[in-house]
Amino acid sequence: MRGRASHYIRFIPALAVGASALIFAAPGASAASGTTATFTLNGGGLTITQPGTASLGSAATGATSLSGSLGSVSVTDDRGNLTATWTATVSSTDFTTGTATTYETVTAANIAYTAGLATSSTGVGTFTAGVLTGMSSPGTAGGWVGTGNNSVTWNPTIAFTLSASQVAGTYSGTITHSVA
């Protein structure tokens, strides 16, 4: 019997060590944690710039048309939208000289606007240039459809339809761009 008793004694400590290893290992093995992390991208604004003044050229009296480049018009869209769209609008006052009588006035209806191709652009998207045959009411100067931040610059041509009886003088008016 002596051989059997020593055999039982050896087995019991081995079983006890194995059981304690399971007790201590189980909580550590299933304990895991993570950190939910975030960051923020802040969007900016939508702006348009245009020249403060422009000389659109000259013609002799009796001419029936005159055209010239307005100068660079730029839209900058820093809003960071998934669907980045905007429309630039343009309008004009009548152009007058002297006392603004009939032959001293070119009405806005006789002023055309052609945006032409973009002279520069950034971002992912497409610029569509506007064409207006008259500017007596606001019309589309250009528009953008894309994604994220973008900017576009164009140099529109302003064309005047003149009366053959238009009087000599320096004509002035205001061309206004806006964007939304």
Of 7-21, 64-78, 107-121, least confident by mean pLDDT is 7-21
Higher pLDDT among residues 18 and 164, named by residue:
164
pLDDT digits (tens, 9 = 90+) for 25-74: 555 567 889 999 999 999 999 999 999 999 999 999 999 999 999 999 99
Q: Which fold has domain 46-179?
A: Immunoglobulin-like (2.60.40)
Calculate the CA dihedral of residues 47, 83, 145, 80 and round it to 10 degrees. Answer: 30
Structure tokens at 44: 């900016």
Q: What is the mean pLDDT of residues 154-159?
A: 98
**Which pLDDT does position 15 carry in this prediction?**
47
- Would you say 120 and 46 are in contact if contact means Cβ atoms under 8 Å apart? no
Identity at 12, one-letter amino acid code: I
Cα separation of 49 and 55, whole Å?
17
Q: Which helix (H) or strand (E) holds 134?
A: none
Cα separation of 165 and 62, whole Å?
6
